[in-house]
Amino acid sequence: MLFLATISDLIYQPAVWLAAIAIILALGFGIADFLRFSFTRSWAISGVCFDESIRRRVLWIIPLAIIGVIIVSQLQKPIDEADAIRQTTKFCLFATGLLVTLTVIILACTNLPREIENRVIYTVVTKPTTRFEIVLGKIMGFARVSATILLIMGLFSWGYLSLRAWNLRRDIGERLAANAVDNISRPSLEHYKQFGLLTSKRLESPVNYAFYSRPPAKGSSVHWMWGGDGDVIVPFDISPEALTVPGEEAAGIAPNGLIIHARVLVDAKAPPTSTPTTKVAKTAFISPLLVQPNSTTTEPAIPAVSFSILDQFQNLVLGADKINNGKPVTLRNSPGVQDVYAFIPASNAALIASKRRIFISMSGGLKAAETGVDDHAFEILLPSKAPPKATVISPPDDPQNPGHPFAPIFRGRQGTYGQQLRGGTTNVPFAVFAFRGTSAGNSEDIPVELRVGVERTGIDSDEESPTKLELSILNQTTGAQSAPIIILPENGRTSYFNVPRADVQGGNFDVLMRCLTDEQWVGLKSDSLSIVSGQEPFAWNLLKSLVVIWLMSVLVVIIAIFSSTFLSWPIALVLTVVILLGHWGVQELGDSTAPGVGNMVANDLGFRDPAKAKVVSSSVEALSTMLRNVSDVLPDIGQYSASDEIERGMIVPMERLWEALKVTGLFGIPMIALAYVFLKNKEVAP
Amino acid sequence: MASSEAVETRNLTKIYRDFWGRDKVRALDDLNLTIHRGEVFGLLGPNGSGKSTTIKLLLGLIFASRGSASVLGAPAGSTQINEKIGFLPEESYLYRFLNGEEILKFYGRLFKIPRKELNRRVPELLDIVGLDAKARKRKLREYSKGMARRIGLAQALINNPEIILLDEPTTGLDPIGTREMKDLIISLKEQGKTVLLCSHLLADVQDVCDRITILFRGKMQTIGQVKDLLQVKDITQIQARGLTPPQIIELKQYLTTMGIAEPTVTHPTTTLEDLFVRIVRDNTGNGQTSYTSSDT
């Protein structure tokens, strides 16, 4: 099934079509050579490549890498024992990946040009050896070299990590026995002592998490948030065509502006006053030039909401100051749904027309008021003049929930570490982590891991003012809610606790979390809370990571051999690096290669002459399109991420190996075919 | 092309072009050559005459600009026909980090020779080319030039080829080695193999080749049997053993009376090579291994 899904996935990718063309070309050129293929000959050639590399003492670089890893590991400053192992694992895998990649790229780029230059190739080509066997033989040979390096570095990594983990665990045992630990760290240290530090866990993550002012009520689609605690966002698919008024096409994009229509409910806890209150803010130190002591802010006395527009990456495009003339929309503190409208002028509407997807963000302004929305919270109205009516733009359907539009996403305020959950003793928000279809393993006590960031207004530390989190589990299958669990997390460290199996029975449950400590904010991410559903030996996990690295090295070898069939070795080396990093580089450019960037550049440069602006804009657009198209046919080395899971003590899923194999196969096979075609038509005796 | 011929070329031309496709060097120009099966054929010429280019075209190392070539009835450079070809390049272009045995085993595997057969053949070949047990285990980069030529010859014979192309085979060999090489070439011919010998050491070619061709600036200048080409037809040589000085004088007088102007009567000379070989062999006894083996 995975294979069939892969095929249907691949068939639309341009790289696949180019690969097919390359293979057909190779078959056309040399079907006879493919029919004559002998694995014995290729293996013999691979043996020579391998022997040459070994006898040239390539492996001597491994001790240097090992010494480097040991030195760097000793210089690390981990926050705890688990972090020490995590960092050491990272160093080991980084050193391994770097060593293997650099070694094979140099060996493979220089091999064929050198054999042609010193004419050793004469005695190989004049044997009944096809050029395909030569190409494949060299690839296999250097793949064997990288496997050897990986084996040695893998054994070292496993041994060194085991030794470190054993040492740290022994230290922990001694400290616990001597009672030389604080109460906050004790649970984590006891966990380490019991389960060890070298772990490979299968962690089940929530499907989503959100911040509400009250736990979701069963059977209700309305969710609530406190003012100032975050916002609620809904996606919309936008295009210049969607923002063109029917019958007013000549007037351009949204000539009459746009209107955000929201349906909200209000529940204000404090009675509204007619005069605004003032509040002295704490000293804001921004820079030595901008220190503003005694600055004040005012809060609205009546419930109100503000709107802003975000792009597809949830970065701000239009701030609240550009919508509704910068004024929040006031609400009545009364039950029932209120229709709220906010106007976006035509000039600002044009800014969002080029975005393929936007998010409308609504945030409440009054801290003492709850604002609620249901699943049909927002729509965009495109007004027309004649006749005076509005075209409604609704959110798109959620592919996870066909037939239903995207539900509103309740977000916390962005902090240093994820989204912030405000702490306090009253009227505090809840973070709700939704687990669906979670397999919790077979034990009676289900292990749970929690990792948060803690931000405080004062300078208190974890010990002086411990952060108190209250968690409870609401089982969506049984409807039961568990008794609260109190956790005292440390900033940036993982906390471990167990929950009874009955609480998570069925696999569909929500974990409700709130912070009970005043003047503290708990930073949360989607993977802050995880359920441990299984474990496997660390050595097996490490082996999977190394296999991923090996698959990447095979691709590197193939690209290097391909480049060296028609280029001198220095240029082949450069081309290999460009091919490997091209896709990643274009991704890093992000919006700079998005459609519409040509117009943006022309606008930014302030061209007044339309002809010049068009030349610049179309040139930039063409360059951007070319970069995107080239990137589409280059390999995505992000699929070879071998260390993320293992660093975090998580099981490397088999899908990771499959993805890596896919990339290696999809890009490697056509490159082998092209290398064969180039070598077959190359005069090796110039 | 008739498969009875070992090598056939028709208007074979090679023009080296620059990056822009303009003609730079015409290395071979309309070569029409036929080499018969079972003969030793010499390809002669000064440096740059097209000898190596011809060999490279026959082996598929480079591609013809015009014309065609066939080896044992198949197009030159085809992978199948390489099963029957042995090639000794002018230098030992072999893997310098492998030892003698490893080199031969590697090339043997390229011919898919079974392991057992290879284990039997490799020591035999090394004996034939005169590499002792110590030398076989040393890496090629430690070999002298002569040793490297020997191992190069061994790899050319690993597959018991039907046609062997030797490019400057005696380069780097001492006179004993040169003699052994020549003896080997003759023994290959006796086994019915075809040998194409490319050299500018004329004495070596003269001793072993049946036919030769001389190339100059890419064009064939002459072709034919060695003895026919080298015969000086207007001089007659008579050899007789045991003539005394008075008999020599009488012979000269007789020739004069026949109208022969200034007849010359002298003793024939041997070659310096023969003298060298005789002296060395006499001093070392029968310790030298001979190349002449019927099983290559």
Residues A379-407: tens digit of each pLDDT: 999 988 877 788 899 999 988 888 888 99
A291 pLDDT higher than 80? no
Which of B63, B89, B107 is opposite residue A127, by nearest beta carbon?
B107
**Distance, CA of A382 to CA of A48 (rounded, Å):** 71
Which of A51, A56, A125 is opposite residue B98, by nearest beta carbon?
A51
> Considering only CB atoms, which chain A residues are within 8 Å of B109?
40-41, 43-44
**Distance, CA of A473 to CA of A355 (rounded, Å):** 39
Query: Closest approach of chain A CAs to the CA of B62, in angstroms?
Result: 5
In chain A, whose CA is at the least distance from the CA of B102? A48
> Considering only CB atoms, which chain B residues are within 8 Å of A121?
93
Provide the b/e sequence for A295-332 (b: ≥16 CB within 10 Å): eeeeebbbbbbbbbbbbbeeeebbebebbbeeebbebe
Query: Closest approach of chain B CAs to the CA of A41, in angstroms?
Result: 5
Distances (CA, A) of A354 to A358, A432, B39: 10, 34, 80
A361 pLDDT higher than 70? yes
Q: In 10 A of CB A215, how many CB atoms?
A: 16
Q: In 10 A of CB A575, how many CB atoms?
A: 18
**Distance, CA of B168 to CA of B151 (rounded, Å):** 14
Query: Is residue B283 within 8 angstroms of chain A, CB to CB?
Result: no
Q: In 10 A of CB A67, how many CB atoms?
A: 10
Both tokens of A390, joined, read 């509005």
- What pLDDT does residue A172 have? 94
Which is more confidently placed, A600 or A309?
A309
Q: Mean pLDDT lowest for which of A481-495, A509-523, B14-28, B269-283?
A: B269-283
Which of A36, A123, A685 is opposite residue B94, by nearest beta carbon?
A123
**Distance, CA of A551 to CA of A565 (rounded, Å):** 22
Q: Inspect the interface and report whether the beta carbons of B87 and A123 lie closer than 8 Å.
A: yes
Which of B82, B98, B102 is opposite residue A127, by nearest beta carbon?
B82
Q: Inspect the interface and report whether the beta carbons of A129 and B60 lie closer than 8 Å.
A: no
Q: Inspect the interface and report whether the beta carbons of B94 and A120 lie closer than 8 Å.
A: yes
DSSP, res A573? H
A270 pLDDT higher than 60? no
Q: In 10 A of CB B146, how many CB atoms?
A: 16
- Write out residues 29-88 of B within 8 Å (CB-CB) of A: 56, 59-63, 79-80, 82-83, 85, 87
- What pLDDT does residue B96 have? 92
Q: Inspect the interface and report whether the beta carbons of A44 and B106 lie closer than 8 Å.
A: yes
> Considering only CB atoms, which chain A residues are within 8 Å of B91?
119
Query: Is residue B122 within 8 angstroms of chain A, CB to CB?
Result: no
Query: Closest approach of chain B CAs to the CA of A57, in angstroms?
Result: 11
Residue A328: strand pairing partners: none
In chain B, whose CA is at the least distance from the CA of A116? B93
Radius of gyration of chain B (CA): 23
Query: Closest approach of chain A CAs to the CA of B294, in angstroms?
Result: 23
- What pLDDT does residue A596 have? 77
Residues A622-659: tens digit of each pLDDT: 888 888 888 888 888 888 887 888 988 889 999 999 99
- What pLDDT does residue B1 have? 45
Which of B61, B80, B82 is opposite residue A684, by nearest beta carbon?
B61
Strand, helix or coil for residue A566: coil
What mean pLDDT is reported for chain A?
A: 87
Which of A36, A123, A686 is opposite residue B93, by nearest beta carbon?
A123
> Considering only CB atoms, which chain A residues are within 8 Å of B112?
38, 40-41
Provide the b/e sequence for A580-610 (b: ≥16 CB within 10 Å): bebbeebeeeeeebbebbbbbbbeeeebeee
- What pLDDT does residue B282 have? 77
Q: Using an 8 Å Cβ cutoff, are A579 and A559 in contact?
A: yes
B294 pLDDT higher than 50? no
- What pLDDT does residue A65 have? 95
Strand, helix or coil for residue A572: helix
- What pLDDT does residue A9 have? 63
**Chain A residues within 8 angstroms (CB to CB) of chain B:** 32-33, 36, 38, 40-41, 43-45, 47-48, 51-52, 55-56, 118-130, 683-686
Radius of gyration of chain A (CA): 30
Which of B93, B109, B112 is opposite residue A119, by nearest beta carbon?
B93
Q: Using an 8 Å Cβ cutoff, are A365 and A299 in contact?
A: yes
In chain A, whose CA is at the least distance from the CA of B91? A119
The sign of the dihedral angle between the CA atoms of B180, B182, B185, B191 is negative
CA B53 to chain centre: 16
Distances (CA, A) of A167 to A191, A193, A210, A450, A539: 16, 11, 40, 25, 18
* Tally of residues, chain A: 686
Both tokens of A192, joined, read 């380490």
Q: What mean pLDDT do residues B145-150 have?
A: 89
Q: Inspect the interface and report whether the beta carbons of B109 and A41 lie closer than 8 Å.
A: yes
A294 pLDDT higher than 60? no
Closest CA to A663 of A563, A565, A553: A553
In chain B, whose CA is at the least distance from the CA of A681? B63
Residues A101-115: tens digit of each pLDDT: 999 999 999 999 999
- What pLDDT does residue B288 have? 47
A350 pLDDT higher than 70? yes
**Distance, CA of A285 to CA of A288 (rounded, Å):** 8
Query: Closest approach of chain A CAs to the CA of B14, in angstroms?
Result: 12
CA A206 to chain centre: 15
Closest CA to A510 of A452, A453, A431, A448: A431
Q: Inspect the interface and report whether the beta carbons of A122 and B106 lie closer than 8 Å.
A: no
- Write out residues 180-239 of B within 8 Å (CB-CB) of A: none
Between chain A and chain B, the number of residue pairs with CB atoms below 8 A apart is 78
DSSP, res A128? S
Peptide bond preceding A235: is omega within 30 degrees of 0, i.e. cis?
no
Which of A41, A122, A683 is opposite residue B110, by nearest beta carbon?
A41
Backbone torsions φ then ψ of B22, nearest 5 degrees: -85, 145
Q: Inspect the interface and report whether the beta carbons of B89 and A119 lie closer than 8 Å.
A: yes
Q: Is the pTM of this model over 0.95?
A: no
> Considering only CB atoms, which chain B residues are within 8 Å of A116?
none
Binned at pLDDT 50, 70 and 90, residue A290 comes out as very low
Query: Closest approach of chain B CAs to the CA of A68, in angstroms?
Result: 30
Q: Inspect the interface and report whether the beta carbons of B85 and A55 lie closer than 8 Å.
A: no
Which is more confidently placed, B167 or A349?
B167
Q: What mean pLDDT do residues A5-14 have?
A: 63
Q: Using an 8 Å Cβ cutoff, are A342 and A304 in contact?
A: no
**Distance, CA of B189 to CA of B211 (rounded, Å):** 13
Q: What mean pLDDT do residues A124-146 have?
A: 96
Q: Where on the phi/psi map is residue A257: left (φ > 0), alpha (ψ -120 to 50), or beta?
A: left
Query: Closest approach of chain A CAs to the CA of B17, in angstroms?
Result: 11
> Considering only CB atoms, which chain A residues are within 8 Å of B141?
none
The angle at the Cα of A262, spanning A256 to A263, to the nearest 5 degrees, equals 145
- What pLDDT does residue A522 have? 94
A288 pLDDT higher than 50? no
Q: Inspect the interface and report whether the beta carbons of B95 and A48 lie closer than 8 Å.
A: yes
E-strand ranges in chain B read: 5-17, 23-36, 40-44, 66-71, 74-75, 85-88, 163-167, 194-198, 211-216, 219-225
* Termini Cα distance of chain A: 51
Closest CA to B83 of B163, B147, B15, B28: B163
- What pLDDT does residue B295 have? 39
- Does the interface ipTM go beyond 0.90? no
Query: Closest approach of chain A CAs to the CA of B82, in angstroms?
Result: 5
Distances (CA, A) of A227 to A47, A100, A431, A469: 69, 53, 15, 21
Residues A35-70: tens digit of each pLDDT: 889 999 999 999 999 999 999 999 999 999 999 999
A185 pLDDT higher than 90? no
Query: Closest approach of chain B CAs to the CA of A119, in angstroms?
Result: 6
Q: What mean pLDDT do residues B27-50 have?
A: 91
Query: Is residue B15 within 8 angstroms of chain A, CB to CB?
Result: no
Both tokens of A279, joined, read 């509040």
E-strand ranges in A238-303 read: 258-268, 277-280, 296-299
> Considering only CB atoms, which chain B residues are within 8 Å of A44?
106, 109-110
DSSP, res A147? H
